[in-house]
């Protein structure tokens, strides 16, 4: 396969993404390549010339549909605030509460924990969703003294608040979000009189027996049929038949589905004579159809 030749190229910038539209040609024909390049990723799609017109129609219909839609309000996402380490003195007087109902308010949270002692402050953990500040289902309650903290953990854990069973636990003093690292496994010290360990001998593995070649002697080639693979799932029988009709008289074209009925990308094309089938394999093997490079080879009789 020769190096593709550039026939046309252009690029546009949309939302900090650079989109390239190129027309190239190789041994199998002319195709359209649309690629996207951003700071984090790069992707591309290849469309054969036969499918370019359908692609243009699909883009036109999508733009027409989008122009009829009413755009909603654009909500700017607030910048993420870095986590700040919690003062150990404050953490020792606080409890973390999880499993809260979405509708639970800070006032209701404080009222529930006054059963354990004097509440200094009750705060819900929140986030912005669809332009609104909503609860994450958790919060922090700060008490006046440490005895109230222990009492809240012992008496209010697994209690019900607004129809939800809540969890009450000690508040961690570190809020940097770093994962705890597991302590390294300590090695058992060796005594001075211990003999040095002998090196372990490499394990011998039996060589894998060579794979036996497939027996092709009982397979019979159907001289008038062509076995086609690597088709796009969107390729239809009519489209494939039109491509192969350029070589000769196509008698039948049939897609081979999977067991569950879905497309498999495989088809069998039957010609009126063996000469046309052979010519189709020589001319159409490796041809681009619907953005896919197909494979055409002889078909065996089952």
Question: Would you list the DSSP string of 183-236?
Answer: PPPPPPPPPTTPPPPPPPPPPP-PPPPPPPPP--TT-EEEEEEEEEES--TT--
pTM of the model: 0.34
SS3 call for 258: coil
Helix (H) or strand (E) holding 131: none
Confidence of residue 182 (pLDDT cuts 50, 70, 90): very low
Contact 32, 45 (CB under 8 A): no
In the structure encoding, which two tokens stand for residue 160, read together? Answer: 């019900």
| SS3 state of residue 80 | coil
Angle at Cα 231 formed by Cα 230 and Cα 235, nearest 5°? 175
Report which listed range, 53-62, 189-198, 275-284, is most confident: 275-284
Per-residue pLDDT for 260 more than 90?
no
Average pLDDT, the chain: 81
Token pair 């939302």 in the structure block, residue:
15
Q: Please say if the pLDDT value at position 141 is more than 90.
A: yes
pLDDT at 192 over 70: no
For residue 186, pLDDT over 60 is answered with no
Instruction: Estimate the crossing angle of helix 274-284 against helix 237-245, to 10 degrees.
Output: 100
Assess whether pLDDT exceeds 50 at residue 183: no
Q: Rounded mean pLDDT of 76-85? A: 60
CA 266 to chain centre: 26
Domains and CATH numbers, the chain: 5-63 (3.10.450.700), 88-170 (3.30.70.330), 220-301 (3.30.70.330)
pLDDT surpassing 50 at residue 222: yes
Q: What is the pLDDT of residue 178?
A: 38
Give the model confidence (pLDDT) of 154-178 as tens digits. 999 999 999 889 999 988 765 444 3
Average pLDDT of 257-267?
88
Span of 67-71, 84-88, 207-211 with lowest mean pLDDT = 84-88
d(CA 26, CA 5): 6
pLDDT recorded at residue 78: 61
Which of these, 35, 50, 24, lies nearest to 236 by C-alpha position?
A: 50
Helix (H), strand (E) at residue 295? strand 295-301
Q: How confident is the model at residue 201 (pLDDT cuts 50, 70, 90)?
A: confident
Q: How confident is the model at residue 98 (pLDDT cuts 50, 70, 90)?
A: very high
The per-residue pLDDT for 33 is 82
CA dist 140 and 124 (Å) reads 6
**Which of the listed ranges 12-16, 50-54, 193-197 does the model predict with the highest average pLDDT?**
50-54
Q: Which of 19-23, 89-93, 98-102, 109-113 has the lowest mean pLDDT?
A: 89-93
pLDDT tens, residue by residue, 10-50 = 888 876 677 888 888 877 778 888 888 765 566 778 888 78
Lowest mean pLDDT among 51-55, 81-85, 137-141, 145-149: 81-85
Residues in Cβ contact with 287 at an 8 Å cutoff, skipping those fewer than 6 apart? 28, 29, 243, 293, 294, 296
Measured at the CA of 129, the angle between CA 126 and CA 132, to 5 degrees, comes to 80
């Amino acid at each position: 396969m020769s190096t593709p030749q550039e026939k046309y190229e252009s690029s546009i910038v949309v939302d900090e993404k650079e989109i390239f539209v190129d027309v190239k040609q190789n041994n199998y024909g002319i195709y359209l390549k649309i690629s996207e390049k951003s700071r984090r990723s790069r992707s591309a799609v290849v469309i054969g010339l036969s499918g370019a017109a359908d692609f243009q129609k699909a883009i036109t219909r999508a733009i027409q549909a989008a122009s009829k839609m009413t755009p909603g309000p654009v909500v700017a996402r607030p910048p993420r605030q870095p986590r700040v380490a919690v003062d150990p003195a404050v953490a020792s007087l606080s409890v973390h509460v999880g499993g809260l109902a979405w509708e639970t308010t800070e006032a209701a949270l404080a009222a529930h924990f006054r059963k354990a002692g004097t509440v200094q402050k009750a705060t819900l953990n929140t986030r912005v969703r669809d332009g609104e500040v909503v609860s994450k289902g958790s919060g922090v309650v700060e008490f006046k003294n440490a005895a109230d903290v222990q009492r809240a953990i012992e008496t209010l854990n697994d209690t019900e608040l607004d129809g939800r069973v809540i969890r009450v636990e000690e508040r961690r003093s570190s809020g940097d979000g770093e994962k705890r690292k597991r302590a390294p496994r300590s090695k058992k010290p060796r005594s001075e009189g211990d003999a040095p360990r002998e090196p372990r001998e490499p394990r011998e593995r039996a060589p894998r027996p060579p794979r036996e070649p497939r027996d092709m002697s009982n397979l019979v080639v159907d001289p008038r049929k062509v076995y086609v693979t690597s088709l796009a799932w969107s390729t239809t029988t009519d489209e494939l038949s039109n491509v192969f009709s350029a070589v000769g008289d196509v008698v039948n074209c049939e897609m081979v589905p999977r067991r569950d009925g879905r497309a498999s990308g495989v088809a069998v094309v039957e010609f009126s004579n063996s000469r046309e089938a052979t010519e189709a394999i020589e001319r159409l093997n490796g041809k681009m159809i619907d953005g896919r490079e197909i494979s055409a080879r002889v078909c065996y009789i089952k």
